[in-house]
Amino acid sequence: MEKIFNIIHKNKNSRARTGVLTLPHGTVQTPVFMPVGTNATVKSITNDDLNDIGFEIILANTYHLYLRPGADLIQEAGGLHGFSKWNKNFLTDSGGFQVFSLSKLRKITDEGAKFQSNIDGSYHMFTPENVVDTQVKFNSDIQMQLDVCSGWGVSRKEAEESLRITSDWLLRAKKRWEECREQGYKGILFPIVQGNFFEDLRKQSAEFVDSLDFPGIAIGGLSVGEPKEEYSRFLAYTVEHLTEDKPKYVMGIGTPDYILDAISNGIDMFDCVLPTRNARNGSYFTRDGMLSIKQERFIHDFSPVDRECNCKVCRTYSRSYLRHLFKSGEILSSILATFHNLYFLNNMIKEAREAINNDRFDEYKEAFLSRFKAGKIL
């Protein structure tokens, strides 16, 4: 299988590493946080602003785009890049998680997942093959296999069945992806490790995925309601059973503690809606914790959200003004908060990469989280 990932430097005291992903629409420096653009747009921010912050890859959602506007229209427009005019990389998820979490009615069989649209109630069927085909129409740079994600607390029997179906679906997805590659598609398919919170099932899934020699690997079934210590334990355990030199992606994590924990375990890629969702709710990342802009104490506060942040929001606007925008329901509130939160996380990742390259990531992580968790916002 072709190599898409080069490790630049390994931190001496942990699995943390820096690297470079080489994808159809340019290189990506890792570790990397990917903003979520569910409908081929990251909510409340333009492509120009994403470029200015420095993002090299964003995520789009197969389920939502399949239902509206439809894969054929996106293909007609030149794929996601031609449709949205985001000219860097797209990672698309399989839509499987949305099938299981959004659908009023769904049925999982060996063939695929039948589900009811959350938009108009119409019925649809996702199979491993047509999910690959849909993402090929999107011209995704990285696409994900259709999988069955089981949540925290399910029975062993359910976890075993979910893993069996996921593994079978992976073989079918791989076959279709390879056929599409022969026809000129350039994108990469990532398999997904499942196994819930049973060590032997996790090991079984990791070793099976590893044996198929994909260019990269995703780790699923984490951050699904489990306690933080269980997330950390199963993440570390899963990574132990995966080839070191492949890029690794953990889906759905977007807070500094989860991200830095993932980096220390050798994870290279992560995404989450949390930074942009928090922004729309008036919650800003700062080095001293989360700042809720709606608080009355900011009415006469003309200082920036974060005195140490160099983003255009912190250079320009005061807490007082940003509170006024939020309380007035102004659209600009979401726009500015989104820019700041994404800038903040991207800057944290850049600092983490620099710390890894200088063999001081552990110290950086401890110092950053100690201050962030103390929450002493002045």
Q: Which residues contact 117 (CB under 8 A, 6 or more apart)?
A: 67, 103, 123, 124
Q: Which residues contact 372 (CB under 8 A, 6 or more apart)?
A: 256, 257, 287, 288, 289
Alpha carbon distance 331, 236 (integer Å): 41
Q: Which of 141, 261, 271, 306 is catalytic?
A: 271
Q: How many CB atoms lie within 10 A of CB 305?
A: 25
210 catalytically annotated: no
271 catalytically annotated: yes
Spatial contact of 35 and 275, defined as CB atoms under 8 Å apart: yes
* β-pair partners for 17: 10
Closest Cα to residue 265, out of 286, 241, 284? 241
Q: Which of 52, 93, 210, 362 is catalytic?
A: 93
The three-state secondary structure class of 193 is: strand
Alpha carbon distance 133, 153 (integer Å): 33
Tell me which residues are annotated as active site.
93, 271
